């Protein structure tokens, strides 16, 4: 079942984020993920303010979890920590196709 990692990030130190983007993108690709949206500042249609959003698609939740637990992501995460506030959510696509 397809799974999505949805993230919301508030960058508090852009200088400290240098190097993070290419490292995390390589890790996502290595573990079979595909960016559907990245670095997009959302237009809020309802509710409070939002930060930059990312959406990564994986073949299944297990692949997303392997990426998240990987040493490659851990190395990227070490660069990002202290320079941003990030929330990542894993959700499986349980919508049944309507024919």
What H or E segment, with its residue span, contains residue 68? helix 61-68
For 15-51, what is each residue's pLDDT tens digit?
Answer: 999 999 999 999 999 999 999 998 778 889 999 888 9
- List the helix and strand counts (H, then E) for the chain: 3, 4
Do 79 and 13 meet the contact criterion of CB atoms below 8 Å apart? Answer: no
Domains, the chain, in order of start with CATH, read: 3-85 (3.30.70.100)
For the full predicted model, state whether its pTM sits above 0.75: yes
Q: Predicted confidence band at 97 (pLDDT cuts at 50, 70, 90)?
A: low
Residue 13: exposure state from Cβ atoms within 10 A (0-12, 13-18, ≥19): exposed
Specify the 3-state DSSP secondary structure of 62. helix
pLDDT for 75 equals: 96
């Amino acid at each position: 079942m397809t799974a999505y990692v949805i993230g919301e990030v508030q960058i508090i130190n852009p200088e400290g984020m240098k190097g993070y983007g290419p490292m995390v993108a390589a890790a996502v690709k290595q573990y079979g993920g595909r960016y559907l949206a990245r670095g997009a500042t959302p237009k809020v249609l309802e509710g409070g303010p939002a930060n930059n959003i990312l959406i990564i698609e994986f073949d299944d939740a297990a692949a997303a979890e392997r990426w998240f637990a990987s040493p490659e992501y851990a190395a990227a995460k070490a660069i990002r920590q202290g320079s941003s506030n990030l929330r990542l959510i894993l959700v499986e696509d349980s919508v049944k196709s309507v024919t």
